[in-house]
């Protein structure tokens, strides 16, 4: 598997986890739940660390031009 593909899959996994953590929550619920905030922030950090300059994501999206 290419490095870009691995990065994209990790980003997709992090996004799916964020959606799962926040499913059925409104903004007030989220703001009151420190565990969920922490979990979401951790996934955002993973996204940023996996592709800090969005290089893999940009190369992926350019395939669809």
Encoded tokens for 3: 């490095």
- List per-block mean pLDDT (blocks of 10 residues) for the chain, which spans 65 residues: 92 97 97 98 94 88 88
- pTM metric for this prediction: 0.84
Q: How many domains does the chain have?
A: 1
Per-residue pLDDT, 49: 93
Encoded tokens for 59: 């190369």
Per-residue pLDDT, 47: 93
Q: Determine contact, residues 61/11, Cβ cutoff 8 Å.
A: no
Q: Which domain holds residue 33?
A: 3-62
């Amino acid at each position: 598997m290419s490095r870009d593909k691995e990065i994209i899959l990790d980003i997709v996994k992090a996004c799916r986890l964020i959606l799962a953590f926040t499913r059925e929550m409104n903004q007030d619920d989220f703001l009151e739940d420190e565990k969920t905030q922490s979990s979401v922030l951790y996934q955002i950090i993973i996204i940023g660390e996996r592709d800090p300059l969005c290089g893999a994501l940009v190369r992926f999206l350019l395939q669809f031009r």
